[in-house]
Amino acid sequence: MILAQMFGSSALVWDGSQMVPAALGPKLKSKSRTRSSVLAVGDGVEVERDAEGALSIVSIAPRRTSLERAGGEGREPQVVAANAEQAVIVTSAAEPPFRPGLVDRWALLAHRGGISPMLCLNKMDLATRDEAERMIADAAIPLPYVLVSAKTDSGIPELKETLRGITSVLVGHSGVGKSSLLRRIIPEEQIVTGALSEKSGKGRHTTSSARLYSLPEGGLVIDTPGVRSVALGGTISTSEVASVFPEIQDAPPCRFSSCTHRMEPGCSVLAGVQAGAIPENVYARYRKLLLEVIAP
């Protein structure tokens, strides 16, 4: 079964055909009191049924992927979603304006966690297709993308197609229309059911308040409503930052294997920028992201 939602020490799990309530078993309960990311939405869990028929979660399968944010000063990273294969980075064509730097940050977290990022550009009722495609090309965003409008439903079938049969996690900054999109792809009764269990659920919400939904076409979607910004930090390496930018990742080796591509002699990335092979705006975003990681 798959952990779909947590409310303190009770949870909903997806059994492959429906959401069922389950409690945390005693061992997990005491563990999760001291560690925030013992369980994350999307985790594969093993459940046991007691004499009264109530389910409890007794163990967690090893995670295949995890979307993690830095936990802040001295705190462990927060696992926002487990086992997603795809991260759908929701942005908008306008209101708020498209910001490539934010896409980079989500893409970095996705890459680190073993998740394939893709871009979903919403609010296409506010821009033409040409404008949107130019925006993505100018920013040299190397991700597959879909252009959608939650308002007019255009592009929604394509978005559904990219979600079919796999587990996706939806991320995005406030205001881009992520909740509106979710309502377009998830059957209404699922959204209502969750709201009810949330009310009856005792105890505090766990840190992320992420939630897993199943799609009628097959496939699972993890929404992360509590996660409105990317928290970087911890132990992100130069090469992980470079992995966001194919032009930089695929540059020939530099003189120093530990090159950060900022000022080192014999840097092939700096040479590539000079020669025009690496677009300046891409390099500028690499530097910005790297500085944030080095000195968050």
Residue with tokens 């881009």: 176
Q: Which of 91, 29, 34 is nearest to 59 (CA)?
A: 29
Q: Which residues bind Zn ion (CB under 5 A)?
A: 254, 259, 261, 267, 269
The sheet with strand 116-122 has its strands ordered as 145-147, 116-122, 86-92, 167-172, 220-223, 211-214
Out of ligand GDP, Zn ion, none, which partner does residue 254 contact, by CB within 5 to 8 A per kind?
Zn ion
User: Of these partners, Zn ion, ligand GDP, none, which one is at the site of residue 269 (CB under 5 to 8 Å by kind)?
Assistant: Zn ion
Complex with Zn ion: residue 67 or 259, whichever CB lies closer: 259
293 binds, among ligand GDP, Zn ion, none (CB under 5 to 8 A by kind): none
In whole angstroms, the minimum distance from the beta carbon of 186 to ligand GDP comes to 13
Sign of the alpha-carbon torsion through 50, 52, 55, 57: negative
Whose Cβ is closer to Zn ion: residue 60's or residue 271's? 271
155 binds, among ligand GDP, Zn ion, none (CB under 5 to 8 A by kind): none
The minimum distance between CB 160 and ligand GDP, in angstroms, equals 15
User: Which of 36, 79, 31 lies closest to 57 in space, CA to CA?
Assistant: 31
CB of 254 to Zn ion, least distance (A): 3
* CB-nearer residue toward Zn ion: 220 or 259: 259
CB 119 within 8 A of CB 136: yes
- Where along the sequence are the contacts to ligand GDP (CB under 6 A)? 122-123, 125-126, 149-151, 172, 174-180
Give the Cα separation of 64 and 181 in Å (integer).
27
Of ligand GDP, Zn ion, none, which one does residue 172 interact with (CB within 5 to 8 Å by kind)?
ligand GDP
Kindly report whether the peptide bond that precedes residue 96 is cis, defined as omega within 30 degrees of 0: yes
* 174, interface contact from ligand GDP, Zn ion, none, CB < 5-8 Å by kind: ligand GDP
Max intra-chain CA distance, the chain: 72
Least distance CB 191 / ligand GDP (angstroms): 13
Closest CA to 127 of 177, 93, 178: 93
Least Å distance, CB 276 to Zn ion, is 17
Which residues, in sequence order, are CB contacts of 97 under 8 Å at separation 6+?
none
Nearer to Zn ion among residue 111 and residue 261 (C-beta):
261
Q: Minimum distance between the CB of residue 26 and ligand GDP, rounded to whole angstroms?
A: 37
* β-bridge pairing 2-7 and 10-14: antiparallel
